Amino acid sequence: MLTIGRLGQAAGVKVPTIRYYEQIGLLPPADRSAGNQRIYDRATLDRLSFIRHARELGFSLEAIRDLLSLSDKPDQSCAAADAIAKAQLQAVQARIARLRALQTELHRMIDQCACGTIRDCRVIETLGDHSLCAQDHGAEA
């Protein structure tokens, strides 16, 4: 049995995060010791490690909830898990494309700057007028 501090250490997660995951139902409510201290078993550590790893891969809490629900039924088809992972991959690829566009635009702004005065600074001018950008790189939808 693990205390909340040791659970957090073992899974690489902070204590407030563990409490939050309990509050939103990603982790089951903790058992309590005679002194009313939260105590956790190996299954909770495994579940928390799963959640942490999924978060590192960028999955939303809702996607993680769905994946946990699927993992609780090991005999069913993994098609739904595959679909969730494919959707995450598409989101990552879209973010990468957006970041590449941002990189290209920043290079272009910097390359066009004559390093004179702020009055003539292409970086300041472009930041002030989005129409001067070579491509759309707006916020993610």
* Per-10-residue mean pLDDT, the chain, length 141: 94 96 95 90 96 97 96 91 97 95 87 76 80 70 47
Full 3-state SS string of the chain: CEEHHHHHHHHCCCHHHHHHHHHCCCCCCCEECCCCCEEECHHHHHHHHHHHHHHHCCCCHHHHHHHHHHHCCCCCCCHHHHHHHHHHHHHHHHHHHHHHHHHHHHHHHHHHCCCCCHHHCHHHHHHHCHHHCCCCCCCCC
Q: What is the pLDDT of residue 141?
A: 47
- Closest to 129 in 3D by CA, of 101, 105, 111, 103: 105
Residue 14, both tokens: 């902070």
**The whole model's pTM is what?**
0.78
Q: What is the pLDDT of residue 128?
A: 83
